[in-house]
Amino acid sequence: MRLNIQSQDMAAIFSVQPTTIEVYRYRIRKNLGLNIEDKLYRFISTY
């Protein structure tokens, strides 16, 4: 995610469905307390 790769590209790399990547991103946002409109990439790149 730090590389700012799109979900479709990440799915191809890990051989999973793009929706799986979206679920992972959702769960990460939820655990970090971020809103849906917050960009996960921006949050990760600040650390």
What local confidence, expressed as pLDDT, does residue 37 receive? 67
pLDDT by 10s per residue, the chain, length 47: 667 788 899 999 999 999 999 898 888 888 888 877 667 767 776 76
How far apart are the C-alpha atoms of 30 and 8, rounded to whole Å? 21
What local confidence, expressed as pLDDT, does residue 4 receive? 74
pTM of the predicted protein model = 0.69
